[in-house]
Amino acid sequence: MTSIGFYEARTHLSQLLDQVARGAKILITRRGKPVAMLMPPPKETKKDVRQVVKEMLEFRDREGPTLGGVASIRELIEEGRRF
């Protein structure tokens, strides 16, 4: 891991970001004390679509179809019939 002072980090931020994009971790210090860490973001994991759909259906079955407590589906259907 590389350690770099705040002023130098500010001056060479573009080059530091290039290094971080290649996987480097860089510790930024101010007056010799650590204040920040530059490192690549965590890898994004793609969820299986089938698993997401299964979780959504389980949630629906557990919570029931709702509209945020505003009105029930039946009330909205009846409201639509009045017009």
State the fold for domain 2-38.
Answer: YefM-like fold (3.40.1620)
> pTM value?
0.53
Instruction: Provide the strand spans (E) within 6-75.
Output: 26-30, 33-38
CA neighbours within 13 Å on the CB side: how many for 36? 10
Residue 70, burial from CB neighbour count under 10 angstroms (0-12, 13-18, 19+): exposed
Under DSSP, the state recorded for 59 is: H
> In this predicted model, what pLDDT tens digit does every residue of 3-29 receive, in sequence order?
999 999 999 999 999 999 999 999 999
Comparing CA positions, the residue from 5, 51, 13, 45 lying closest to residue 29 is 5
Residue type, 82: R
Q: How is the chain split into domains, by residue range? A: 2-38, 49-81
pLDDT confidence bin for 67, thresholds 50/70/90: low
